[in-house]
Amino acid sequence: MSPINLIGNICIFGSLASSFFGLLPAGVRPVRPAKCAYFNFFAMTVASLAMVYALLTNDFSVSYVAQVGARETPRFFAAISLWSSLEGSILLWGWVLSAYTALCVYRYRNRFPDRMPTVLFTLLAIGIFFYLVLGIPANPFHEVYPVPPNGPGPNPLLQNHWLMAIHPPMLYLGYVGFSVPFAFAMGSLVTGRFDNDWLGITRQWTLAAWMFLTAAIILGGSWSYAVLGWGGYWAWDPVENASFLPWLTATPLLHSIMVQQRRGMLKNWNLSLIVVTFLLTLLGTFLTRSGVLDSVHSFTESGIGLYFLAAIAAGLVVSLAFLLRKYPQFASQGKLDSPFCRETTFLLANLLFVCFCFVVLLGTLYPLISEALRGVKVSVGEPFFNQMAIPLSLAILLLMGIGVATPWKKGNKKDFLKTVRGPFVIALLSVPWLWSLGFTNGPVLAAVAFSVFSLSIMLFEMVSQMWRQKSIVTLFREKPRRYGGFIAHIGIIVIAVGVAVSSGYQEEAQATLKEKETLTIGLYTVSLEKLYALQKPQRFEVIARTHISRNGKSIDSMEPQLNFYPTSREPVSTPAIRSTWQSDLYLTLMAFDEKGMSVTLRAILTPAVSWIWWGGGIIFFGSLICLFSKKETRPV
Amino acid sequence: MRKKTRIILGVVIIAMSLGYLAFGRLEKNIVYFVTPSELLAKGGAALDKPVRLGGVVKEGSIRWDAQNTLLEFDLKDEAGEIRVISHETPPQMFQDEMGVVVEGKKDAGGVFQSSRLMVKHSNEYHPPKEGEKPHMIYKELLQ
């Protein structure tokens, strides 16, 4: 066996064995479970580094490298092709899991002696599952003999853009991150203790995982926008939905945790949400990796599908058993006092999110159910998702503002109306102004008006605080979680406006142009300057250089291109995008005729789409503030 | 009625309305996969219902009018063929004998009006199989 394969397999099976030892009861096991966790991290790091080394040095005796490596691939993309295909991405999962487990063990090594053993047991059990998958159905370190001279390279779509380096790791940091709150929840369920100390660390880890998942979803949309050439960023594709489902349960969880911290209520609800979020990450991986989406009957061919189904079933049975047995121990210590208090708003928002999750789950699973039960292959059209998502999102947007305006525990109608009066008027006045700007689409108007409402409520509070001689820095220092949360909410508002406006007002134009001929879209004129080609080591590029003018003034040149890879029948396009805060001009080279020197170009003008990416960054920034706020002896 | 009963009743009503809405909308938005012979067999029943039609492009049937962005071709399977009209530019590799999925409706004249054209490719990338030659004449562009 080649050295890399040997090292890789030793590390994987070593981690498997060590996790197994860590699960044994105290009298039988040879070593403390904490040491197993540290060993796993060490072994997984070595295995991952070995794989990256094999990819960079084109070691085709390693099966994964023979699958995704190629001598011509630029080294940057060769390194990150670590996660370009199934086996490598499971290796990444194993590494992130071992890192989170080790970090968790280390941080709380002197705290919570009653619960940490259960936490570690859970994390090691999850580890056993992934190391088993990594060792048997998805082993990237199989020996390839005779050693091929070269490989096919990674999927062309995955070596087109630098976002390949960021989106998958972020997604895994988020996805795998939810294993930790799940382990904490098991700790609670086993010991029957779910006090505020424990809740505090559960909240922190949930927030960290949520932050990464949010970033990953936005980056995923941005990447598909930049690469796929259709000018859109979200298609309710099952793989996209797989990443969205846990987000739809983790977001309300972050809020209902606050209710528990203050009032001791909703403990069972929170435990259930944590369990559901974790199971949804397993379901998401199952949907994406098992081949079940191609056909219900093909998923058993790869074997990995059955492993995941078994894990989901086991997780469901164990969690459900504990939840049903222990729920009286987590009974509510308070009750909802008034419809105008924040607890009520949070509860309503939670219900809306859960409904949203159910709807997306239904639409995603329906084709599978239909094929399994009736043998009929169907797909669920986008309108289903959009028609259900829009009213739910609008309601959530409105509640976001109302939640800020309502106090904890004691709220009354009079105070509530007084707080929302100003923002309501501003939102109402904004409607005719938006109408005059050309926004006449109902849902778009509602989205922007609700956003204005929620934003005004937050700004009113910040301004009135600063009026009392407090600087903005003091605000953040005194109540970092509240105002960090404001920033994250502002990010959501920016995204909501971006999504609403970009969906409602996209323009498109298509034309076949010879040199010097032009295409007009909006205020822009696109003219073809030249069609030429470049030979790169890993691909052949056909490029259309175009000249852009706006209102008659020449402003820029853009070069959409088509990339031909030797291993693929179709080219992959790289659209050219010119982004301003107002709108994006998006050019795709659809086809070309090398004899007539003409090109077919598609131009798409999308307003406000860059707001979505900026909004994502704002959310990330706000979450960081919340995450690292130290002054939290009492939640605000 | 006790407060708790009212709340539970409220939740049940909301859940049922949501379920009704969701399943109703779902039924309206389901798109079936069919092959040309299946669509022909449905006859009049298939008129004006959105479907996804999958088949292979019949040799010699492609007509592409670049000026009007009008694409016409025949889509066939072992037992039948249907004329397809599309107003989208075909992808660069669109050619005879290619596997294609079109989304749209069959009109009264028996012609399939396509609203979306997708070239079928598998999720796993693999080198071209025996006999599949990548279209390399664009290399003449290199001067």
Please provide the distance, in angstroms rounded to a whole number, between the alpha carbons at the two ends of chain A. 59
Out of A23-27, A204-208, A354-358, least confident range: A23-27
Is the CB of residue A591 less than 8 Å from the CB of residue B89? yes
Chain A residue with the nearest C-alpha to that of B134: A569
Q: Which residue has the tokens 């403390």?
A: A32
Report chain B residues whose CB lies below 8 A from the CB of A591. Answer: 89-92
For residue range B2-56, what is the model confidence (pLDDT) as tens digits? 667 777 787 788 788 888 888 888 888 888 888 888 888 877 776 667 788 888 8
Q: Is the pLDDT of residue B142 over 50?
A: no
Q: How many CB atoms lie within 10 A of CB B6?
A: 10
How many A×B Cβ pairs under 8 Å?
111
Is the pLDDT assigned to residue A489 strictly greater than 90? yes
Peptide bond between residue A383 and the one before it cis (omega within 30 degrees of 0): no
φ, ψ dihedrals at A80, nearest 5°: -80, -5
A315: CB partners within 8 A, 6+ apart: A275, A278, A279, A282
Q: Do A378 and B138 touch (CB under 8 A)?
A: no
Ranking A26-30, A279-283, A560-564 by mean pLDDT, the lowest is A26-30
- Arithmetic mean of pLDDT, A346-371: 92
CB contact under 8 Å between B121 and A569, yes or no, is yes
**Which positions in chain B touch A362 (Cβ < 8 Å)?**
22-23, 26
Residue B136 has pLDDT above 60, yes or no: no
How far is Cα A543 from Cα A534, in angstroms, rounded to an integer?
A: 8
Smallest Cβ–Cβ distance between B89 and the set A152, A355, A591 belongs to: A591
Facing A594 at nearest CB: one of B11, B23, B141: B141
pLDDT at A632 over 70: no
Q: What is the mean pLDDT of residues A184-207?
A: 92
Q: Tell me the pTM.
A: 0.90
**Cβ separation A569–B91 shorter than 8 A:** no
* Model pLDDT, residue A298: 58
Chain A nearest C-alpha distance from B34 (Å): 9
| Cβ–Cβ gap B30/A591 under 8 Å | no
CB contact under 8 Å between A387 and B31, yes or no, is no
Q: Is the pLDDT of residue A604 over 80?
A: yes
Exposure class string for B104-113: b at 16+ Cβ within 10 A, else e: bbbeeeeebe
CA distance B40 to chain A (A): 17
Q: Which long-range contacts (CB under 8 A, 24 or more apart) does B109-113 make?
A: B110/B82, B110/B83, B111/B82, B111/B83, B111/B84, B111/B85, B112/B39, B112/B53, B112/B75, B112/B82, B112/B83, B112/B84, B112/B85, B113/B85
- Looking at residue A100, its pLDDT comes to 97
Nearest-neighbour CA in chain B from A532: distance (Å): 6
For an interface test with B, which of A343, A368, A570, A592 has the most B Cβ atoms less than 10 Å from its Cβ? A570
Identify all chain A residues contacting B89, using CB atoms and an 8 Å cutoff: 510, 590-591, 600, 602
Position A257 pLDDT exceeds 80: yes
> A334 vs A343, which has greater pLDDT?
A343
Contacts of A169 (CB under 8 A, 6+ apart): A83, A92
Distance (Å, rounded) from C-alpha A203 to C-alpha B49?
A: 49
Nearest to A366 among B26, B50, B67 (CB): B26
pLDDT of res. B80? 86
Counting Cβ atoms within 10 Å, is residue A389 exposed (0-12), middle (13-18) or buried (19+)? middle
How far apart are the CA of B11 and the nearest CA of chain A, in angstroms?
9
ipTM above 0.95, yes or no: no
Lowest average pLDDT, out of A362-371, B2-11, B100-109, goes to B2-11
Q: Is the four-CA dihedral A431, A437, A438, A443 of positive or negative sign? A: negative
| Residue B15, pLDDT score | 81
Rg (CA), chain A: 27
User: What pLDDT, on the 0 to 100 scale, is given for residue A492?
Assistant: 96
CB contact under 8 A, A380 and B29: yes
Chain B closest-CA separation from residue A601 CA (Å) = 9
- Calculate the alpha carbon distances from A634 to A263, A406, A521 in Å: 12, 19, 56
Window A:432-491, CB contacts with B under 8 Å: none
Mutate which of B52, B70, B92 to disrupt the A interface (most A C-beta within 10 Å)? B92
Could you tell me what percent of chain A has a pLDDT over 90?
A: 62
What is chain A's mean pLDDT, rounded?
A: 90
Note whether A315 and A382 are within 8 A (CB). no
**pLDDT number for residue A295:** 59
Interface probe with A: pick from B13, B25, B57, most Cβ of A within 10 Å: B25
Cβ contact B140–A594 (<8 Å): yes
Give the lowest-confidence range in A104-108, A241-245, A319-323, A597-601: A597-601
Span A385-398, pLDDT tens digits: 999 999 999 999 99
Residue of B nearest to A365 (CA): B26
Statement: residue A246 has pLDDT above 90:
yes
Mean pLDDT over A599-609 rounds to: 92
B83 Cα to chain A: minimum distance (Å): 22
A581 close contact with B: CB closer than 8 A: no
Q: Is A29 exposed, middle or buried (0-12, 13-18, 19+ CB in 10 A)?
A: middle
Distance CA A105, CA A124 (A): 11
User: How far away is chain B from the Cα of A588, in angstroms, using its nearest Cα?
Assistant: 11
Residues 293-322 of A with CB under 8 A from B: 294
Cβ contact, residue pair B22, A568, below 8 Å: no
- Please, which residues 346-365 of chain A have a Cβ atom closer than 8 Å to chain B? 351, 355, 358-359, 362-363
Residue where the block lists tokens 């370190």: A141
pLDDT score at B120: 61
Give the gap in angstroms from C-alpha B82 to the nearest C-alpha of chain A: 20
A387 touches chain B (CB under 8 A): yes
Give the residue-averaged pLDDT of A565-582: 87
3-state secondary structure of A598: strand
- Please state which of the ranges A534-543, A567-576, A610-619 shows the lowest mean pLDDT: A567-576
Has residue B137 got a pLDDT over 50? no
Cα within 13 Å of Cα(B103), Cβ side: 15
Q: Which of A202, A197, A210 is nearest to A183 (CA)?
A: A202
Percent of chain A with pLDDT over 70: 97
For A355, which of B18, B50, B142 is closest by C-beta distance? B18
Residue A579, Ramachandran bin (φ over 0: left; ψ between -120 and 50: alpha; else beta): beta
Distance CA A341, CA A100 (A): 37
CB contacts, 8 Å: A387 with chain B:
25, 29
- Report CB contact under 8 Å: A381, B50: yes
**Tokens matching residue B90:** 């075909």
How large is the average pLDDT for residues A243-266? Answer: 93
Distances (CA, A) of A385 to A336, A359, A499, A505, A608: 33, 8, 14, 19, 22
- pLDDT attached to residue A175: 95
Is A380 in Cβ contact with B52 (below 8 Å)? Answer: no
Give the pLDDT score at B126.
39
Q: Do B31 and A379 touch (CB under 8 A)?
A: yes
Q: β-strand B99-106 against B112-119: which pairing, if any?
A: antiparallel
pLDDT band at residue B110, thresholds of 50, 70 and 90? confident
A209 in reach of chain B (CB within 8 A): no
Q: Which token pair is B52?
A: 């996804």
B14, B30, B138: residue with CB nearest A542: B138
DSSP readout, B82-114? EEEEE-SPPPTT--TT-EEEEEEEE-TTS-EEE
State residue A28's pLDDT score.
84
- Give A-chain residues touching B91 at CB under 8 angstroms: 570, 590-591
Highest averaged pLDDT of the listed ranges A19-33, A166-180, A560-574, A596-610:
A166-180
Dist CA B106 CA B47 (whole Å): 5
pLDDT classification of A633: cutoffs 50, 70, 90? very low
Three-state DSSP at A469 gives coil
Q: Which residues of A touch B134 (CB under 8 A)?
A: 564, 566, 568-569
Note the pLDDT of residue A36. 94
Is B31 within 8 Å of A591 when comparing Cβ atoms? Answer: no
Distance CA A252, CA B43 (A): 49
What pLDDT does A377 receive?
A: 81
Q: Looking at beta carbons, which residues of chain A come within 8 Å of B66? A: 512, 598, 600
Instruction: For residue B3, give the chain A residue with the closest CA.
Output: A336
Q: pLDDT band at A294, cuts 50/70/90?
A: low
What is the per-residue DSSP string for A471-483? -HHHHHHH-HHHH
Instruction: Return the residue of B nearest to A598 by Cα.
Output: B66
Cβ A383–B31 below 8 Å, yes or no?
no
Interface of A with B in 503-542 (CB under 8 A): 510, 512, 531-533, 535, 540, 542
The answer to whether residue B141 scores a pLDDT higher than 50 is: no
Residue A493 has pLDDT above 60, yes or no: yes
Mean of the pLDDT values across residues A183-199? 92
pLDDT in the model for residue A337 = 75
Q: Can you give the pLDDT at residue B48?
A: 67
- A23-32, A218-227, A347-356: the lowest-pLDDT one: A23-32
CB contact under 8 A, A379 and B90: no
| Residues of chain A found within 8 Å of residue B26, distances taken between Cβ atoms | 362-363, 366, 380, 384
